[in-house]
Amino acid sequence: MLSEPRTRSSAPAPAAPPLRAAVLALALGGFAIGTTEFVAMGLLPQIADGVDISIPTAGHVVSAYAVGVVVGAPVLAGLGARFPRRTLLIALMVAYALGNLLSAFAPSYATLMGARFLAGLPHGAYFGVASLVAADLAPPGLKARAVSRVLLGLSVANVIGVPAATWIGQGFGWRVAFAVAAILAAATAASVLRVVPWAPADQAATFRRELTALRRPQVWLAIATGAIGGGGMFAVYSYISPILTDRAGLSLGFVPVVLAIWGAGMVAGNLLAGRLMDWRPHAAMIGAFLAMAAIFGTFAFTSASPILAPITVFFLGMALMLPTGLQMRLMEVAGDAQTLGAALNHSAFNLANALGAWIGGVVLAAGLGLTAPMVVAVGLALAGLAIFIVSLALERRTVR
């Protein structure tokens, strides 16, 4: 059996009010980022009209943001490691606000592409540093729970933020939606300044030391676990609209409701993930992969029912506990390079987004039908599980 750390038998002490306030402020940043990241997908027709391009070309705006996330996470986290973490968080949120403000006033497609790339740069670094701050503030036995609360902002964004911002963008213009995102980011910066305790910087931290995370095989295995294992969600999520309308027979107007159900499942799964990862992190990760594979396989059948499909979608969202688990794993295996290691979580999931959507599109283009992305999702979840088990086995051998 693979060993893993166990918590003490005594129940952890309840979180102190300063921790709750700090985590709420950090989660507000997650809400702002989650709202902005996904709202562009729902406003592509308006964006295309606004800068005089086609809708497929407007899709590149989403890709520009994702590239910014992948590039910015290691670079900004590494360069910012020498600064006090609260100062770095505020700077990242100010940069995020400016990126979205530039997006709101972009006069052309080229400038909008550049603005979305710049807006994506702080994304991964913010979540990495915010997770480290939450874990440092939390007492033993509550660290994963604190990290999951920070990431909860992303889940809540899918239930509340994205629909609200989409409605604002459709009613008042897509530029207003990006302006609102800038306001949320500025509010986060002010909240972090107000309630997150200041701590001195790690004087030994350098960009070179942070780069040592990339020399650790366990860091690369953790990235691969997320990029491949998490790809299953995006293989299905990217094509959820035609699955629901063409296979389940639901109306197009009901699709946003089902997406909100998915988001509600993510909120429930996020809350559960914090407790499970504090209890037995390795077993919880293995269980999460198995649950994802099982539910994606089930969805291949229930997606044909207008009643069972939305119910299964909730459990699909709930099974997605990987962000919390992978965040804790990267913080565990990064060694001294904590800031860069923690920031790589969202680079991994943006790679998962690209991989899952691409493979899902390939099988659909091959004429394999709308259940094919679900089969892909099962395979990717099991592949991620295999990588994770290999990493645990190698870790155990190294400890010996």
**pTM check: above 0.95:** no
The structural domains of the chain, ordered by start, are 17-204 (1.20.1250.20), 206-400 (1.20.1250.20)
Question: Residue 323: which of 149, 92, 196 has the closest Cα?
Answer: 149
Mean pLDDT by 10 residues, the chain (400 residues): 44 57 92 84 80 78 84 87 91 96 93 93 91 89 88 86 82 90 94 89 75 88 94 85 89 82 89 88 93 95 95 88 87 83 84 85 88 94 96 83
Give the pLDDT score at 3: 45
C-beta contacts of 293-300 below 8 A and 24+ residues apart: 293/232, 293/377, 293/378, 293/381, 293/382, 293/385, 295/319, 296/232, 296/236, 296/374, 296/377, 296/378, 296/381, 297/374, 297/375, 297/378, 299/236, 299/374, 300/371, 300/374, 300/375
Give the pLDDT score at 12: 47
Q: Transcribe 275-305 into DSSP letters.
A: HHHHH-HHHHHHHHHHHHHHHHHHHHHHTT-
Q: What is the pLDDT of residues 2-44, one digit of tens each?
A: 444 444 434 444 444 578 899 999 999 999 998 887 777 667 7
Contact predicate 244/307, CB 8 Å:
no
Tell me the C-alpha distance between 115 and 100, whole Å: 7
Contact predicate 383/235, CB 8 Å:
no
Give the pLDDT score at 400: 58
- Reported residue count of the chain is 400
Q: What is the pLDDT of residues 286-323, one digit of tens each?
A: 999 999 999 999 999 999 999 999 999 999 888 778 88
Tell me the C-alpha distance between 184 and 152, whole Å: 16
